[in-house]
Amino acid sequence: GGDREPSRDEIQEVELLATSSGPAIENARRFREARQLADIDALTELHNRRFFQETLEREVARAQRYDRPLALMVLDLDDFKAINDRTGHLGGDAVLAQAAERVREVVRSADIACRIGGDEFAVILPESTRTEAEQLYSRLQRAVSSQSVPDVGRLFLSAGIAELRRGDDATSIFTRADAALYRAKNAGKNQVDAQDGLGDGFRRFDA
């Protein structure tokens, strides 16, 4: 009644199964890794623009369906063109990578941080309001500006925030957040515009 030795046929069956399924498992792992790499911006290790667009569409649809809050913040480094001109392309890349590292350290686990352009970033904040997005901006600005960069000095961020409204899709909420970013930059940089078309919402960051 003890455990019997497997027969030669049974051993061959297991070996055949392992041989045939092994490549499939390996291929699945490689596909997963390739897909993950395809979603990541190589320089900053943040999610890339394609991932941002897909995720924003999905999160907006989910929030609309279940009537949940959602905020979007679009931000960029102030005076990045001047930094690039002064330090060269490689120096500019190093500054971007350093800023992105601070972003990765500060965002909450549920937040989705992406690089969507040259020096432009976006953070999708599920289950969050404009106020919570403003609080995140303050933490990001504090983290990014806390260290001086050689030949550059301190870095500062400007940001625009939009909160999901009934009837919004991914394009409309992004358009409002992006417009808010440009208002913040035109108003003097180093600040966030969270008014979202609803009145005074400028907050200047004072380090």
pLDDT tens string 135-183: 999 999 999 999 788 878 899 999 999 999 999 999 999 999 999 999 9
For residues 105 and 198, state if they share a domain: yes
Answer whether residue 86 shows pLDDT above 50: yes
For residues 10 and 78, state if they share a domain: no
- Give the least confident one: 11-15, 18-22, 113-117, 185-189: 18-22
Q: What is the pLDDT of residue 75?
A: 95
The answer to whether 202 touches 192, Cβ cutoff 8 Å, is yes
For residues 100 and 134, state if they share a domain: yes
For residues 5 and 75, state if they share a domain: no
Has 119 been annotated as catalytic?
yes
Confirm whether 43 is domain-assigned: no
Q: Identify the domain containing residue 177 by its residue range.
A: 49-204
Confirm whether 170 is domain-assigned: yes
Q: What is the pLDDT of residue 30?
A: 67
Q: How many Å apart are CA 158 and CA 184, to the nearest integer?
A: 6
For residues 99 and 158, state if they share a domain: yes
Q: Which of 76, 111, 119, 193 is catalytic?
A: 119
Neighbouring residues of 91: CB distance < 8 A, sequence distance ≥ 6: 83, 84, 151, 152
Neighbouring residues of 63: CB distance < 8 A, sequence distance ≥ 6: 69, 70, 126, 164
Confirm whether 17 is domain-assigned: yes
Domains in the chain: how many in total?
2
For residues 19 and 58, state if they share a domain: no
